[in-house]
């Protein structure tokens, strides 16, 4: 959500408040979360929980089920979820007797159709959006970073549209069909700078006026917004919560397996090690490998490698980490 002038708050003071929340003991953070959950359940007749099968939203789900065991739970299956995530979701849905609803993209709006039409998710949502807009419009704004300007000028096919098309739209469709008027989200302010700003500007419980279009809004609540990574794992240990096996393989998140948003932070490197067949398919049988080569050559003008003249298979065999290090 953009920082709308008139309602945005002072970031410096907001970050000080966040640091104060982060310093609380887990017991205090649990009480904080419980109070918000109680408030939302009291205020809304048709709340839902968005659950990804990840460690954070599993903690959220566990907290909420103590108060509302029959609450509708929405899981978004983009079609490119890790197999381990699907298995975990199926397991927990059965063991916890969840009222589970699965949101899926329309047949013509798959991840593969999306990247073919708009570009690949790389380098983070903000940068991907800036590069896509500049590439599409030809408007290379002075506000773009040198990194963004270079990739836009080279026409590297980058976009963040897949998240909107394969995640947001299907989830909204299910929420609308259910008549949901509030949703619980398992996001934390500590995850990124943008989520810190979201918390500072809007808090952990706010109304999105045009969520379903111009006439119908949605309340959003993030009960674990002031938690941090160590709190999540401490809660898992304290309550002996199960977690998806992806985390034991070295993955930090359980999103879409072909996503390269975290390529700068080793996301594809982890995929190469944990799921070599999926990695090779992604690099050799889709256009992502070509786009990575194009981006690296554009950014590294002093490179001694003539990768542009080599096939992806040759590069992968000679230099396996070429595609997962940026």
Alpha-carbon span 120 to 286, nearest angstrom = 10
Contact criterion met (CB below 8 Å) for 69 and 205:
no
User: What would the mean pLDDT of 75-88 be, rounded to a whole number?
Assistant: 97
If asked whether residues 202 and 175 sit together in one domain, one would say yes
50 and 181 part of one domain: yes
> What's the pLDDT tens digit per position in 262-276?
999 899 999 999 999
What are the backbone dihedrals phi and psi of residue 75, each rounded to the nearest 5 degrees, phi first? -110, 130
Number of domains into which the chain is organized: 3
pLDDT at 227: 97
Q: Are 48 and 211 in contact (CB under 8 A)?
A: no
Same domain, 128 and 267: no
Which residue bears the tokens 């469709």?
A: 173
Average pLDDT score over residue span 301-311: 61
Would residue 256 count as lying in a domain? Answer: no
Which residue, 112, 96, 18, is CA-closest to 51? 96
Burial letters for 259-278: b for 16+ Cβ neighbours within 10 Å, e otherwise?
A: bbbbbeebbbbbbbebbeeb
Predicted local confidence at residue 2, as pLDDT: 47
Residue 86: band (very low, low, confident or very high) from pLDDT cuts 50, 70, 90: very high
Strand partners, 122: 260
Q: Are residues 56 and 169 in the same domain?
A: yes
Instruction: Indicate if 198 and 241 belong to the same structural domain.
Output: yes
Residue with the bigger pLDDT between 216 and 233: it is 233
Which position has the higher pLDDT, 317 or 204?
Answer: 204
In a domain, 147, yes or no: yes
Residues 34 and 109 in one domain: yes
The answer to the question of residue 68 being in a domain is yes
**Residues 230 and 106 placed together within one structural domain of the fold:** yes
> Full-prediction pTM beyond 0.85?
yes
- The model's pLDDT over 174-222, given as tens digits with 9 standing for 90+, comes to 999 999 999 999 999 998 888 888 898 889 999 999 898 877 899 999 9
Q: Are both 88 and 135 inside the same structural domain? A: no
Strands 72-76 and 182-184, bridge-based pairing: unpaired
Give the bridge partners for 158, in sequence order.
Answer: 120
Chosen domain end from 251, 280, 302: 251
* 42/308 Cα distance (integer angstroms): 60
68 shares a domain with 130:
no
> CA distances (Å), 25 to each of 36, 55, 105, 235, 313, in order?
17, 19, 40, 11, 51
Among 251, 280, 313, the domain boundary falls at 251
80 belongs to a structural domain: yes
From 10-14, 43-47, 89-93, 102-106, the region with the lowest mean pLDDT: 10-14
> Do 86 and 140 reside in the same domain of the chain?
no
Domain annotation covers residue 257: no
Specify whether 83 is located in the same domain as 182: yes
- CA dist 238 and 257 (Å) reads 29
Q: Which tokens is 71 given? A: 């609450």
Asked if 261 contacts 126 with a C-beta cutoff of 8 angstroms, the reply is no
How much of the chain exceeds pLDDT 70, in percent?
A: 94
**CATH number, domain at 245?**
3.40.50.620
- Residue 130: give the domain boundaries: 122-158
Judged against a pLDDT cut of 50, whether residue 58 lies above it is answered with yes
For residue 121, what pLDDT is reported? 95
Q: What is the rounded (10 degree) CA torsion for 194, 10, 22, 29?
A: -90
User: Quick one: pLDDT at residue 3?
Assistant: 46
Q: Could you tell me if 188 and 143 lie in one domain?
A: no
Q: Which two tokens stand for residue 152?
A: 């836009």
Can you give the pLDDT at residue 309?
63
What pLDDT is stored for residue 88 in this prediction?
A: 97
Largest Cα span, the chain: 64
Q: pLDDT at residue 10 above 60?
A: yes
Confidence of residue 89 (pLDDT cuts 50, 70, 90): very high
Q: What is the pLDDT of residues 113-167, one digit of tens each?
A: 999 999 999 998 888 999 999 988 888 888 888 999 999 998 999 999 999 999 9
User: What pLDDT does residue 52 have?
Assistant: 96
Average pLDDT of the segment spanning 25-34: 97
């Amino acid at each position: 959500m953009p920082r709308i002038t008139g309602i945005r708050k002072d970031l410096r003071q907001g970050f000080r408040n966040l640091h104060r929340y982060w310093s609380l003991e887990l017991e205090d953070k649990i009480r904080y979360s419980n109070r918000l959950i109680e408030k939302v359940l009291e205020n809304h007749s048709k709340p839902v929980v968005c659950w990804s099968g990840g460690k954070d939203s599993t903690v959220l789900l566990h907290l909420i089920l103590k108060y509302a065991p029959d609450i509708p739970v929405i899981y978004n299956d983009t079609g490119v979820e890790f197999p381990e995530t699907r298995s975990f979701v199926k397991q927990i849905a059965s063991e916890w007797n969840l009222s589970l609803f699965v949101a899926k993209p329309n047949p013509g709006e798959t991840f593969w159709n999306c990247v073919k039409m708009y570009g690949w998710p790389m380098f983070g949502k903000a940068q991907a959006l800036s590069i896509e807009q500049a590439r599409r419009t030809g408007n290379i704004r002075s506000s773009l970073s040198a990194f963004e300007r270079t990739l836009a000028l080279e026409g590297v096919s980058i976009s963040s549209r897949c998240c909107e098309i394969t995640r947001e739209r299907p989830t909204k469709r299910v929420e609308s069909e259910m008549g949901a008027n509030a949703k619980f989200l398992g996001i934390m302010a500590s995850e990124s700078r943008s989520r810190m700003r979201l918390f500072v500007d809007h808090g952990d419980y706010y109304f999105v006026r045009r969520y379903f279009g111009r006439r119908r809004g949605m309340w959003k609540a993030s009960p674990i917004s002031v938690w941090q990574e160590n709190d999540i794992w401490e809660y898992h240990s304290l309550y002996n919560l199960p977690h998806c096996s992806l985390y034991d393989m070295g993955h930090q998140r359980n999103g879409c397996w072909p996503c390269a948003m975290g390529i700068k932070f080793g996301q594809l490197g982890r995929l190469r090690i944990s799921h070599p067949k999926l990695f090779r398919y992604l690099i050799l049988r889709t256009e992502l490998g070509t786009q990575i080569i194009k981006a690296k050559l554009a950014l590294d003008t002093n490179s001694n490698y003539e990768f542009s003249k080599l096939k992806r298979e040759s590069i992968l065999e000679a230099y396996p980490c070429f595609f997962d290090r940026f």
